[in-house]
Chain A
Amino acid sequence: MEYVVLTVVLVIVLALFFDFTNGFHDTANAMATPIATGALKPKTAVTLAAGLNLVGALLSTEVSKTVSGGIIREDRISGGVFPSIIFAGLIGAICWNMLTWLLGLPSSSSHALFGGLIGATIVGIGASAVNFGIVVSKIILPALLSPLTAGIIAFIATKLAYAITRRYDKKPDGRDGFRMGQILTSSLVALAHGTNDAQKTMGVITLVFIAVGWQSAGHHEPQFWVVLACAGAIALGTYVGGWRIIRTLGKGLTEVKPAQGFSAETSTAATILASSALGFALSTTQVASGSVIGSGLGRRGSKVNWGTAGRIVIGWVLTLPAAGIVGAISALIVVWLGPWGLALDAVAVAAVVCGLFVRSRLNQVDHTNAVSDVAESGTAVVLDSDPPLTPRQERARQRRKRAKQVRGAAQKSQERAAQERSSAEAKGDRP
């Protein structure tokens, strides 16, 4: 019994630590764009993001129910073994998250979590314990479709924003005002992040409670203290992660204009909020990246940098299986060595986290080598410094050209007439 209690406590601590790293890792998703366009000061942006992540985490529990009540078949798991397996899965997720963060590889905290959990469950209990139908319909398909959805919406929104505010008379177009609007939209993204990402760890903790019998299997709603603890952990991580945002400014997003940033954030927030309402566990990093690419393409004369885009997509595709493999290895150690395996896993994750932290302190990090996944996606779109004209602008240019030609011809004919007159006068003056 003590072993089970100890394992559950370890799972809660590790889940909250994962939530902290998730907030730390994803602060840039909500706030990189408004900082890049100068809509908010970095410190204000980070504080706002932390507060709204906390509020967002308290608003909905649909995603948490998906995690606790769908991915793993509760009838195939036992209270004695399952908490250790979840622990192994969390180790896989944290290790992959920290490693990709240090190496600057594109990754998703959410997919690392799901990959770790699925990998550990397959090795620790068996493939039959994983509900692959739910995994495909609520995790894999949303993962594939959400960046595409956000990208298409951001593309349309950017076109709309530019079309409505475009002026043809060279007078002020008021697009500067989008900078003010970005405070609203980036706040909405931070809120949406809380409604989706904080829920995942709530779901994991609830799943463990159900497995050990501390919560009824028919009741997947997370307990209130779990909601509060997860919300606090993600908010704290978001606040602490702020310094990293300041370092990421030099990368990728310097070309983002306020109208584009506003559209990208609106698309990100709308996609995440609609998905959260239906219980889809998305990767907010992927949605925000899809929006930044879509909004970049929404500007005239932009092209996709397929090399960078491909690297980002490969990073996304690799996250689930890679975290799954780390989770599976951790679960294998637990299965072979029992409680000693659990201790070994705990020591291993502590060593990895400390090692990566020390390594990150050794490297002098500045804006030239810091990486944010969302900021990196900004480089996936190449913008033309001299974009092609819109059809209306082209027509206006043709009109101006024609008017100039007509003026030139009239001036020439006047000059010719004047010349003829003066030569005629000269002839007339001659005796």
Chain B
Amino acid sequence: MTIDWYAFLVVFVVALVGAGVLVTLYALGLRLLVAAGRPPVVPPAEFPDAITVLTPKQAAKAEKKAAKAAKKVALSPAQQTLVLALAYACFGLCGACVLAAVALLVFG
């Protein structure tokens, strides 16, 4: 019986690198959005009893806080545009990574 340990290592490394890159790019995108004064406020789609993640009141408070933070950005408008562009580039790269993974699976 021969066990291909190398294949297990490949799965671990590929999954680790893939997940690491995706999470890093997305988190970096969020961080840049915050830096540009546009912190995302995404309230939950529904508020069933079991979910205690964010109530509508908390969501409204978060939106207010985000608007306040946006007014206090220390960047110039040009810098703000650049940081925003970088944030969207990070999200775009995230999408490209996902498409590349699917393409690798289909054609690889």
Contact = CB atoms under 8 A, between A and B. Distances in A.
Classify the interface of chain A: helix, strand, loop or mixed.
Answer: helix
A230 interface: no
B51 A59 contact: no
A273 B105 contact: yes
A36 to B, nearest CB: 6
B75 interface: no
A270 interface: yes
B44 to A, nearest CB: 2
A188 B69 contact: no
B44 A37 contact: yes
B32 to A, nearest CB: 9
A262 B30 contact: no
Contacts of A275: 11
B19 interface: yes
Contact of A149 (B3, B4, B15, B45): B15
A165 B51 contact: no
Contact of B20 (A38, A157, A179, A249): A157
Given A263-B23, A270-B15, A41 B46 contact: yes
B98 A179 contact: no
B54 interface: yes
Contact of B106 (A40, A60, A250, A258): A60
Interface in A321-341: none
Interface in A253-304: 254, 257-259, 262-263, 266-267, 269-271, 273-278, 280
Contact of B51 (A44, A184, A195, A254): A254
A249 B50 contact: yes
Interface residues of A, number: 67
B20 A254 contact: no
B44 A254 contact: no
Interface string B1-45: 111100110111011101110111011111101100001111111
Interface in A27-42: 36-42
Contacts of A184: 94-95, 98
Among A59, A249, A274, the one with the most B-chain Cβ atoms within 10 Å of its Cβ is: A274
Given A165-B31, A175-B30, A257-B53, A262 B23 contact: yes
Interface in B43-72: 43-54, 62, 65-66, 69
A43 B2 CA distance: 46
B77 interface: no
A137 B4 contact: yes
Nearest to B51: A38
B40 A180 contact: yes
Interface in B78-108: 94-95, 98, 101-102, 104-106, 108
Contacts of B11: 149, 271, 274-275, 278, 280
A409 interface: no
B1 A38 contact: no
Interface of B: 1-4, 7-8, 10-12, 14-16, 18-20, 22-24, 26-31, 33-34, 39-54, 62, 65-66, 69, 94-95, 98, 101-102, 104-106, 108
16 contacts: A42-B46, A59-B106, A60-B106, A157-B23, A160-B27, A161-B23, A164-B28, A177-B40, A181-B94, A184-B94, A257-B53, A258-B53, A270-B22, A271-B15, A273-B18, A278-B11
Given A38-B46, A172-B34, A280-B7, 5 more contacts: A142-B8, A150-B15, A154-B19, A270-B14, A270-B22
